[in-house]
Amino acid sequence: MRLNLVFHNIVLKEEEINGDYSLTLDYFEELRENIETLLKSGLTRFKDIRYYFDDGYKSFKELVFPVMKDKTNLCCLAPIANLLGSENYLNEGDIDFLSKSGIKIASHGFSHAALAVYKANTLQKTPKGGEYKDSPSGKNEILSEKEVLFQFLESKRLLENITKSEIDEFVFPYGLYNKEVIDLNNRKGIYEYLSTCDEHLDSGSAIRPRILVSNKRPIKETVEFIRSLE
Ligand SMILES: [Zn+2]
């Protein structure tokens, strides 16, 4: 069993925190220490860890990489393709460097459009056909099958061009997906792993669960929650 943890922007000071998912480097380091202790204690079902960093923030290279450079094999970076090179985000050269340093690169869509959405608390089906084109970032629009394909394929193409290696994992923006999207990927054989924000431990399945870390939860509670995972 593996624990997949999801992080976003890592900042130096509390006042730089923006939204529920950015964390200070101190929080990140303290959580990591606590989890390593938990692993050694044997009081948990997971045997290893993978650290995900979603969206491709520049802070990954500046703050996280220096503390994780001996553990690059435990890190997976999932940048948003069309934000590469914009302010506060990693650029193509960074992705190439990080990939060569042993960090796994996963696709996170071209524009960070949700591949499936809820309307009135109901998960919507993906309409067949449509036009092969980009969609706006966000989780308001229902993407057609071809628009989903655009997000799958164009982000993969761009990242494979940069890293010169195969990108075999897609991280769902907002953790959102439906049956049609999974079937489409499997039918076309695009990605081996599809990663979610479904909060349980990873037994090696192709639909990969991941646990989102939020600054709303104190470290002690986060560790207790992780310990309780099945
Ligand atoms: Zn994201």
Residue extents of the structural domains in the chain = 2-228
Tell how far the Cα of 127 is from the centroid of ligand 1, in angstroms: 23
Q: Which long-range contacts (CB under 8 A, 24 or more apart) does 182-185 make?
A: 182/207, 184/126, 184/145, 184/148, 184/149, 184/152, 185/152
What does the pLDDT read at residue 52?
Answer: 98
How many other CB atoms are there within 10 angstroms of residue 94's CB atom?
21
What does the pLDDT read at residue 191?
Answer: 98
What does the pLDDT read at residue 19?
Answer: 87
Tell how far the Cα of 21 is from the centroid of ligand 1, in angstroms: 10
What does the pLDDT read at residue 205?
Answer: 95
Pairing of strands 2-7, 122-123: unpaired
Tell how far the Cα of 41 is from the centroid of ligand 1, in angstroms: 32
Tell how far the Cα of 187 is from the centroid of ligand 1, in angstroms: 25
Tell how far the Cα of 226 is from the centroid of ligand 1, in angstroms: 21
80: its two tokens: 């948003």
What does the pLDDT read at residue 43?
Answer: 87
Tell how far the Cα of 108 is from the centroid of ligand 1, in angstroms: 7
Tell how far the Cα of 174 is from the centroid of ligand 1, in angstroms: 6
Tell how far the Cα of 54 is from the centroid of ligand 1, in angstroms: 5
Tell how far the Cα of 65 is from the centroid of ligand 1, in angstroms: 19
Reported pTM = 0.96
Tell how far the Cα of 113 is from the centroid of ligand 1, in angstroms: 9
Tell how far the Cα of 55 is from the centroid of ligand 1, in angstroms: 5
Tell how far the Cα of 169 is from the centroid of ligand 1, in angstroms: 14
Residue 146 to residues 23, 143, 203: CA-CA distances in angstroms? 36, 8, 31
What does the pLDDT read at residue 28?
Answer: 96
For the chain, which ranges sit under pLDDT 50? none
What does the pLDDT read at residue 158?
Answer: 98
Per CATH, which fold does 2-228 belong to?
Answer: TIM Barrel (3.20.20)
Tell how far the Cα of 93 is from the centroid of ligand 1, in angstroms: 20
